[in-house]
C-alpha cells in the first residue's frame, strides 16, 4: 500500500508534526513518499532525505508556493495523490485547510484527527468533542486522513538512510487567490502547538492587560507558551492563535497549567491529552478539576505571584 504524506516545514526543517505523520503512515504500509511544497526549499529537502521510513521525497517547488495557500496547494496534492492508496498529514491548521479541499477534488470522504490506526482502512477518531472514540472503516479508493501527532512516535533522521528525490512538474493551474500581506507578531515564547509547557487563562482574568501581566511572567519563568479559552479570546484578552480547544489549537504538553478556567468540553477536548494538568480555580465544582491531575481551589491572583516567587528562588 503506497502512502503519500504531505509535509509541513518552516523553510529549513521538517516540522515534528510531519515526523509523527510519517510514523503513522508507516503503520499503514509502504512505500512512504513525502511531498514537500514550497519555494526555495533546498534545506528542507536535504533534511527530509535522511528521514527514516521515507522511501522517496517529492519536491514541488515554485514561486507560487511562497505562502502555501490552500487554494493553490490542494489541486496539486489531489493530482499527485491519485497514484496512492492513502494521503496522510498531521492534524494541524494547515492540513485542516488543505486536505478537505483535496478530498473534495478526489471525490472521497476524509477522516480527521485519527488517534489510532488498526488497519490500512480502519481507524479510531474522537467524536462528541472528544468524549467518545469511534472506530470507523473506510472503503474509499484513496484514504485521506489527518492524524493527531502526539499519538504517534516521530521518525528520526539517519545518516545511513538516503531517500530518492523526485522533482514534480508543476501544472499550469489557475490562481484564484492572491497573497496580499500578513501581520506577524514576533515572540520569544515557544509555539503553542509544540510547547512542552503551556500556561492558559480564562475570562476570569478580567482584561487583556491583566491577562498578559498575570500569565506573562509565569510563562517566562517556565519557558512556556500561553494559551487561552475561547471565552478569553472572544473577550479580546488574547489572540486567536492562543485559543486552545476543539475549535482552536490542540495541545499535549508535558505540563498544562489552567488558571481560572472552568473546563468546558470545548476547551478540555484540546488539552486533555497533556501529561500533567494543574488547575487553579475558585469554584470547587469547576469541570476542569475532573481532568486535572492536581487541583487547587484558590484565587489565581494569589497563587500566581507566590508561584513566581518560588520559581525565582530556584
Predicted confidence (pLDDT) at residue 101 exceeds the cutoff of 70 = yes
Residue 264 assigned to a binding site: yes
Query: 166, exposed or middle or buried, with CB in 10 Å at 0-12, 13-18, 19+?
Result: exposed
122-127 and 132-137: which strand pairing? antiparallel
The domains found in the chain, sorted by start residue, are 3-167 (3.40.50.620), 197-312 (3.40.50.1220)
Residue 243 assigned to a binding site: yes
Q: What is the pLDDT of residues 173-232, one digit of tens each?
A: 887 888 888 776 667 889 898 899 999 999 999 999 999 999 999 999 999 999 999 999
Residue 18 assigned to a binding site: no
The mean pLDDT value of the chain amounts to 93
Residue 206 assigned to a binding site: no
pLDDT of residue 107: 97
CA distance 164 to 51: 11
Residue 229 assigned to a binding site: yes
Residue 143 assigned to a binding site: no
Predicted confidence (pLDDT) at residue 253 exceeds the cutoff of 90 = yes
Please say whether the beta carbons of 115 and 94 come within 8 A: no
Residue 9 assigned to a binding site: no
Residue 263 assigned to a binding site: yes
Residue 122 assigned to a binding site: no
Residue 274 assigned to a binding site: no
Q: Which long-range contacts (CB under 8 A, 24 or more apart) does 58-65 make?
A: 58/4, 58/33, 58/34, 58/166, 58/168, 59/165, 59/166, 59/167, 59/168, 60/35, 60/36, 60/168, 60/170, 61/37, 61/167, 61/170, 62/170, 63/39, 64/39, 64/170, 64/175, 65/37, 65/38, 65/39
Residue 200 assigned to a binding site: no
Residue 246 assigned to a binding site: yes
Please say whether the beta carbons of 164 and 287 come within 8 A: no
Q: Pick the range with the lowest mean pLDDT from 101-105, 188-192, 278-282.
A: 188-192
Please say whether the beta carbons of 35 and 80 come within 8 A: yes
Residue 245 assigned to a binding site: yes
Amino acid at each position: 500500500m503506497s502512502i503519500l504524506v504531505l509535509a509541513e516545514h518552516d523553510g529549513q526543517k521538517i516540522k515534528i508534526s510531519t515526523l509523527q505523520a510519517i510514523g503513522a503512515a508507516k503503520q499503514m504500509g509502504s512505500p512512504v513518499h513525502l511531498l514537500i511544497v514550497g519555494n526555495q526549499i533546498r534545506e528542507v529537502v536535504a533534511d527530509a532525505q535522511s528521514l527514516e521510513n521515507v522511501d522517496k521525497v517529492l519536491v514541488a517547488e515554485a514561486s507560487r508556493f511562497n505562502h502555501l495557500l490552500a487554494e493553490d496547494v490542494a489541486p496539486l496534492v489531489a493530482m499527485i495523490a491519485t497514484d496512492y492508496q492513502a494521503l496522510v498529514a498531521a492534524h494541524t491548521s494547515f492540513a485542516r485547510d488543505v486536505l478537505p479541499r483535496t478530498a473534495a477534488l478526489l471525490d472521497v470522504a476524509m477522516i480527521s484527527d485519527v488517534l489510532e490506526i488498526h488497519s490500512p482502512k480502519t481507524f479510531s477518531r474522537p467524536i462528541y468533542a472528544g468524549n467518545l472514540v469511534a472506530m470507523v472503516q473506510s472503503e474509499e479508493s484513496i484514504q485521506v486522513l489527518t492524524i493527531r501527532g502526539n499519538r504517534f512516535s516521530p521518525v528520526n533522521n539517519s545518516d545511513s538512510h538516503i531517500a530518492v528525490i523526485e522533482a514534480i512538474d508543476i501544472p499550469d493551474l489557475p490562481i484564484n487567490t492572491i497573497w496580499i500581506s500578513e501581520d506577524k507578531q514576533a515572540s520569544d515564547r515557544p509555539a503553542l502547538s509544540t510547547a512542552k509547557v503551556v500556561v492558559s487563562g480564562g475570562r476570569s482574568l478580567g482584561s487583556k492587560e491583566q491577562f498578559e501581566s498575570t500569565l506573562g511572567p509565569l510563562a517566562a519563568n517556565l519557558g512556556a507558551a500561553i494559551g487561552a479559552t475561547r471565552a478569553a479570546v472572544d473577550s479580546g484578552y488574547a489572540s486567536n492563535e492562543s485559543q486552545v480547544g476543539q475549535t482552536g489549537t490542540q495541545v499535549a504538553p508535558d505540563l498544562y497549567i489552567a488558571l481560572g478556567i472552568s473546563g468546558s468540553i470545548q476547551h478540555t477536548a484540546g488539552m486533555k491529552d497533556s501529561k500533567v494538568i494543574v488547575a487553579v480555580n475558585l469554584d470547587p465544582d469547576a469541570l476542569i478539576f475532573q481532568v486535572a491531575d492536581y487541583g487547587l481551589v484558590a484565587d489565581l491572583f494569589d497563587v500566581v505571584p507566590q508561584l513566581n516567587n518560588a520559581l525565582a528562588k530556584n
